[in-house]
Amino acid sequence: MVNMRVGRSAVAVCAVLTAGVACSGSGGGGGTATPPAARRAHPPDPLATSPAPPGDKTGAAMTSYLQGLAADKKFTGAAIVVRHGQVLTRFAAGKADAAKNVPNRPDTIFRLASVSKQFTAMLVLKQRDQGHLRLSDKICPYLVPTYVKSCPKAWGAITIKEILDHTSGIPDISEMPDFFPKLSKPTNTQEIIQRFVNKPLDFKPGTNWKYSNSGYILAGAIVEKVAKKPFGTVLHDDIAGPLGLGRTGYTNGYPPSPYAKGYLKPGTPAPPINGSQANAAGGVYSTVDDLSRWDRAFGTAKVAPASTVKEALSPQAPCPSGGCLDSPSSAYGFGWLIDKLKGHRYVYHPGLLQGYHTSNGYLPDDDIAVVVLSNVQTTDVNGINRHLATMALSG
């Protein structure tokens, strides 16, 4: 979720066990001994990581760069760069909770803000793959009567695809005057939708591009409707659980403790955020480790079939002049901004929400994942992400 007022170590190595076959021999009573059946070896984990070789110059340069930013109070949070399964840097700086003197660590949990949209979009695609919906379906039959008593006439032509690629014209709830004052108060999806359901559209569906958190709140509602489970349960069952993302989830309240508290700027705490307000547009939490594994799941097609992965990372709607979200990009995919970096495909998504600034980037043709999560809203996470990605390509 993007705040439109502001312009969103030890490395765990997965061991692969191989079982040998015991040798046979003759027993004391004579006859041929039967060897025990061979145990089935666990297949290698394609998402497993390992440390970069000692003395790796690129990794050392990345860590030095992040240390310099931290020393200048330009970075508070956690970051990771994984290239071809090797962790080039895994870094944390600053405080997760300044009042309690709790430091940020590489495994600290952060609110993802709009990076959450990558997960929501994939959940919709997975429901499509399971035959529960089509992207060309109109949204209203999925919303009535569970979330709204009736759809406004203007919503009648809006499709599921259009709420995912921000071409629906539905106004963005984060631009409404009551959005920030209500962020700390518990709510539910029905109440949130009521706040924008009767607002006039910004444009005729399918004719323009404008970022809309409202559309992703509706997408989360549709996921719940067709899956017949709460959004957080679907996220765990369809993505976090199968991929082994043990510190990734969604809650209607607050992330599991300890998690990074948000700051508007260094030393200035942000008001708390209730996850039910951020909803499916910005309520997912995670760590840099889990997000790098999530990124690389696209490269190995473990998150979904290769055709669905290709669809998610492909242009779905052209960006306006200046890029989507005023960030370098030519098009919006399904939860990803599409861009090029030094001639290489670079897909990413920023997140900005009261006290948090996040950036998740992936170079699918180079197997490079770059994750930068900050609990200080003013941190230039997108610039840091792009710089680290450039270093990974150059090194």
Nearest to 121 by CA among 355, 336, 378, 310: 336
* 260: Cβ contacts below 8 Å, ≥ 6 apart: 77, 96, 97, 104, 108, 109, 110, 111, 356, 373, 375
Q: Indicate whether 331 belongs to any domain.
A: yes
Count of helix runs (H) and strand runs (E) in the chain: 12, 16
Residues ≥6 apart with Cβ < 8 Å to 290: 240, 245, 246, 247, 248
110, part of any domain? yes
**Dihedral angle computed from the Cα positions of residues 95, 97, 98 and 99, in that order, rounded to the nearest 10 degrees:** -160
* 26, part of any domain: no
Q: Is residue 28 included in any domain, yes or no? A: no
Strands lying side by side in the sheet with 249-250: 110-111, 284-286, 249-250
Q: Is there a domain that residue 24 lies in?
A: no
Note whether residue 215 is domain-resident. yes
Alpha carbon distance 183, 187 (integer Å): 9
Cβ partners under 8 Å of residue 252, min gap 6: 186, 188, 232, 274, 275, 276, 283
Residues of the chain with pLDDT under 70: 1-41
Distances from the Cα of 314 to the Cα of 22, 311, 335, angstroms: 50, 5, 10
Domain encompassing residue 54:
4-11+49-394
Q: What is the pLDDT of residue 178?
A: 94
Q: Domain holding 326: CATH number?
A: 3.40.710.10
Q: What is the pLDDT of residues 87-133, one digit of tens each?
A: 999 999 999 999 999 999 999 999 999 999 999 999 999 999 999 99
pLDDT at 41: 65
- Beta-carbon contacts of 286 under 8 Å, excluding residues fewer than 6 positions away, are 109, 110, 112, 115, 245, 247, 248, 249, 294, 373
Domain count, the chain: 1
Measured distance CA(375)–CA(92) in Å, rounded: 11
* Inter-residue contact 204 to 168 (CB < 8 Å): no
In a domain, 239, yes or no: yes
- Flag whether 260 is in a domain: yes
Q: Give residue 368's pLDDT.
A: 98
